[in-house]
């Protein structure tokens, strides 16, 4: 079977990215709560975790996470606008803009920590 | 243009396979011409569907190199890839035989979406005057030209994933009637399109708009239905 052509279109890929970024955030959420839980269980444990999180590789991962969060949020806002406001052409351009904005957020974070 | 073209055609029902045929290339040749040539020169048992051959009836839609298209309006030179063409029946529909898809589920969903006009007047009443520039008429006009070819239904992954989903064409039709001031069936229609497989199941991939041969935008119609059903629910006109 040939690759179905509609799956190479920008808006189909935008939907895929939105779904995958949502899954990635769902996987991250337990770790986020774990870190928050450390703050309750003791200052020393939290301090040790925060020191661990200063490593460059962890910071890089945080930048990726921030990018994923931004792309998911901006993609969601685009869909909310599409479904609740008057129709606006150029949705593929808006989706691309969301990707560029998310990458800019991630790079700005990296620039601020290195 | 000269030489031969290798054409893979789907043969069989839902269980079947692609069979290669060598077809002479012509300077001006549509994909429908190719299918017809195979039937007349290679295998008379090849089944496919067409009627008008000029993009009026919408009956010759097939999947050409992975993309649903009207074969009568698709020139081979525009879609041929490395001397090959792969032609199958429309996706997301049962296959009757070879290139003929069973359109019954498509039209049944049209009925489920209350795609039939419900008159509010009798023939004794005076003709309703409708201003062409009224907002409702402009919205209906933008979506009214659909000829039920099934291309959008075939291109829609939500249809593929959710067997109950009514699909872009049926919902687009519901949107045109919702904007027709003469229609009296809109409460039932809004309830019908707000069900599990209704407008809210749409993922807004816009594949329907991308592939519609008439450049209609069913995603915009479905977005309109999402707004109108939400408003109707908040007003208590439809129940969950």
Give the H/E segment covering residue A75.
Answer: helix A56-84
d(CA B109, CA B69): 21
A63-106 pLDDT, tens digit each = 999 999 999 999 999 999 999 999 999 999 999 999 999 999 99
d(CA A110, CA A105): 9
- Nearest of B205, B206, B199, B239 to residue B222 by alpha carbon: B199
Please list the helix, strand and coil fractions of chain A in percent, rounded to the nearest 5, in that order: 85, 0, 15
State which CATH number among 1.20.1300.10, 3.40.50.150, 1.10.340.30, 3.30.300.30 fits the domain covering A11-113. Answer: 1.20.1300.10
For residue B92, what pLDDT is reported? 96
- Cα-only R_g, chain B: 20
Contact residues on chain B for A4, CB-CB shorter than 8 A: 66-67, 91, 155
**A interface mutation test: which of B7, B65, B66 has the most A CBs within 10 A?**
B66
Question: Under DSSP, is residue B158 helix (H, G, I), strand (E, B) or coil?
Answer: helix
Identify the bridge partners of residue B213 per DSSP, sorted by sequence position.
none
Burial B135-155 (b: 16+ CB within 10 A, else e): eebebbebbbebbbbbbbbbb
CATH number of B4-101: 3.10.20.30
User: Please, are residues B189 and B166 in contact by the beta-carbon 8 Å criterion?
Assistant: no
B63-85 pLDDT, tens digit each = 999 999 999 999 999 999 888 99
Look up residue A19 and give its two tokens: 């779904």
Q: Which residue of A has its CA nearest to B226?
A: A83
Pairing assessment for the beta strands B84-88 and B4-12 based on DSSP bridges: parallel
| A70 to chain B, closest Cα gap in Å | 20
CB-based burial label for B190 (10 Å; 0-12, 13-18, 19+): buried
Inter-chain touch A11–B223, beta carbons under 8 Å: no
Residue A3, pLDDT > 70, answer no
| A96 to chain B, closest Cα gap in Å | 14
- From first to last of its 240 residues, chain B has per-residue pLDDT tens of 568 999 999 999 999 999 999 999 998 999 999 999 999 999 999 999 999 999 999 999 999 999 999 999 999 999 998 889 999 999 999 999 999 999 999 999 999 999 999 999 999 999 999 999 999 999 999 999 999 999 999 999 999 999 999 999 999 999 999 999 999 999 999 999 999 999 999 999 999 999 999 999 999 999 999 999 999 999 999 987
d(CA B4, CA B178): 51
Within chain B, where are the H helices?
Answer: 31-41, 76-79, 104-112, 135-143, 151-155, 157-161, 168-178, 186-193, 207-211, 218-234
Inter-chain touch A11–B86, beta carbons under 8 Å: no
Chain A contact for B223 (CB, 8 A cutoff)? yes
Contact residues on chain A for B210, CB-CB shorter than 8 A: 6, 9, 11
The CATH class of B104-234 is: mainly alpha
- Nearest of B197, B3, B15, B145 to residue B84 by alpha carbon: B3
- Please report, for chain B, the start and end positions of each structural domain, with discontinuous segments joined by +: 4-101, 104-234
d(CA B96, CA B11): 10
Task: Indicate the residue of B207, B223, B226 with minimum beta-carbon distance to A6.
Answer: B207
Neighbours of B14 (CB within 10 A): 11
Q: What is the ipTM of this complex?
A: 0.81
B175-199 pLDDT, tens digit each = 999 999 999 999 999 999 999 999 9
């Amino acid at each position: 079977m040939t690759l179905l052509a509609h799956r190479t279109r920008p808006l189909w890929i935008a939907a895929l990215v939105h779904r995958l970024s949502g899954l990635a955030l769902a996987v991250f959420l337990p770790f986020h709560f774990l870190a928050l839980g450390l703050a309750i269980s003791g200052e020393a444990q939290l301090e040790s975790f925060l020191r661990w999180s200063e490593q460059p590789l962890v910071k890089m991962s945080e930048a990726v996470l921030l990018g994923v969060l931004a792309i998911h949020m901006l993609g969601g806002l685009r869909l909310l606008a599409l479904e609740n406001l008057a129709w606006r052409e150029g949705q593929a351009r808006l989706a691309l803009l969301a990707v560029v904005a998310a990458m800019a957020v991630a790079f700005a974070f990296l620039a601020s920590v290195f | 243009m000269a030489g031969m073209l290798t054409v893979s055609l789907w043969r069989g029902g839902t269980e079947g396979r692609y069979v290669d045929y060598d077809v002479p290339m012509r300077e001006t040749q549509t994909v429908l011409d190719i299918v017809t040539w195979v039937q007349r020169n290679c295998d008379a048992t090849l089944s496919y569907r067409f009627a008008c051959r000029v993009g009026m009836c919408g009956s010759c839609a097939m999947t050409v190199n992975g993309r649903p298209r009207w074969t009568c309006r698709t020139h081979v030179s525009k879609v041929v890839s490395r001397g090959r063409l792969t032609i199958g029946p429309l996706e997301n529909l049962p296959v009757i035989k070879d290139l003929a898809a069973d359109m019954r589920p498509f039209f049944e969903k049209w009925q489920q979406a209350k795609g039939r006009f419900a008159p509010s007047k009798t023939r004794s009443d005076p003709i309703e005057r409708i201003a062409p520039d009224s907002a409702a008429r402009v919205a209906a006009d933008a979506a009214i030209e659909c000829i039920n070819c099934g291309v959008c239904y075939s291109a829609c992954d939500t249809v593929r994933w959710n067997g109950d989903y009514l699909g872009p064409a049926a919902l687009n039709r519901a949107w045109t009637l919702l904007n027709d001031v003469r229609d009296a069936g809109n409460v039932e229609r809004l309830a019908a399109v707000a069900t599990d497989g209704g407008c809210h199941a749409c993922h807004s991939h816009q594949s329907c708009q991308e592939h519609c041969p008439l450049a209609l935008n069913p995603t915009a119609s479905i977005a309109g239905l999402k707004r109108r059903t939400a408003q109707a629910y908040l007003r208590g006109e439809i129940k969950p």
